[in-house]
Amino acid sequence: MSVDLFRLWVYLAATPLLGLTLTFVAYQLGLWLAARAGGHPLVNPVLIAMLAIAGLLAATGTPYRQYFEGAQFVHFLLGTATVALAVPFFDRLAALRKRALALTAGLVAGNVVALGSVVLLMTTLGAREATLRSMVPKNVTAPIAMGISESIGGIPTLSAVFCVLTGVLGAATGKLVFDAIGVRDLSIRGFALGAQAHGIGTARAFYVSPEAGAYAGLALGLNGIVSALVLPPLVSVLR
């Protein structure tokens, strides 16, 4: 019996269907737990699904590559969703124009603080140069961050890891931070999530409200474009 089950697992693990189904089921589990927690940001559906699947893969000795054979169909849609972010952005152009100065100032301030603290802490705590360089684009959406990382002498894979960790961290703690400093405006909260926690922060913002999500999507796109143009020359000037 257990040998049959093992054979079945080996067979199913090799088809893309398992990885794909696992991703959807784990997401449903994450949504269910998040709903039970009343939408508390620390109970993040992405984080729960990530840990559940990674745990299962580790427990069964299934290589990530095999899981990704199926999960790639979901992963692929990230690019399509990025294009779709243009819609909520377009629908709020008038309101955005009114807020352009405030949002630009916030974007610049946030990036100065984030970049400054990364350089300061990584240098004082003695991290290696390549690790530091890999962390520079950590609040940029992963595909852009990997490109930036490569051009400034970082390790693209490591940058992608830092991006996802930053996204999860920002999505989970954003509410606590905004409440602590007394910022209640949903559009500004969403914008900050998109600017500092890119895609995963934007996903959290859409979970809270379409309004917050729209501003998060704007911040993600804007920050990605500006960072891709500004960071590589900035790093080469500083070093």
Partner 1 sequence: MHIKGTASAKIQVMNAALTGFTWLLVLQLAGEAVVRLTGVPLPGPIVGFVLALGALGLAPPLRAPLRAAADALLPHLSLLFIPAGVGVVMYLSAIREDALAIAAALVVSTLGGLAATAWVAERVARWQDGRSRARAEDPQ
Q: What's the distance, Cα to Cα, between the start and end of the chain in Å?
A: 63
With contacts defined by CB under 8 A, name the span among 5-13, 35-43, 193-201 that binds partner 1.
193-201
Q: Judged by CB, which is closer to partner 1: 5, or 237?
A: 237
Nearest-5° angle of CA 132, CA 226, CA 79? 90
106 touches partner 1 (CB under 8 A)? yes
126 token code pair: 């003695």
Going 144 to 150 to 154 to 158, the CA torsion angle's sign is: positive
Binding mask 18-47 for partner 1 (x = CB under 8 A): -x---xx-xx--x--------------xxx
66 touches partner 1 (CB under 8 A)? no
- Using CB under 8 A, which of 16, 41, 110, 153 touches partner 1? 110
- Using CB under 8 A, which of 121, 230, 233, 236 touches partner 1? 121
39 token code pair: 């939408």
179 touches partner 1 (CB under 8 A)? no
Distance, in Å, from the CA atom of 197 to the CA atom of 193, rounded to the nearest integer, reads 5
186 touches partner 1 (CB under 8 A)? no
Going 176 to 180 to 185 to 191, the CA torsion angle's sign is: negative
- Using CB under 8 A, which of 160, 208, 212, 235 touches partner 1? 160
Sequence-ordered list of residues with C-beta below 8 angstroms from that of 4, at least 6 positions apart, any chain: none
68 token code pair: 């990704």
Distance in Å, CB of 2 to partner 1, minimum:
26
Distance in Å, CB of 178 to partner 1, minimum:
6
Q: Which residues of 74-112 are buried (b: 16+ CB within 10 A; e: fewer)?
A: eeeeeeeebeebeebbeebeeebeebeeebeebbeebbe
118 touches partner 1 (CB under 8 A)? yes
- Using CB under 8 A, which of 13, 18, 152, 164 touches partner 1? 164
- Using CB under 8 A, which of 91, 95, 230, 236 touches partner 1? 91
Distance in Å, CB of 228 to partner 1, minimum:
5
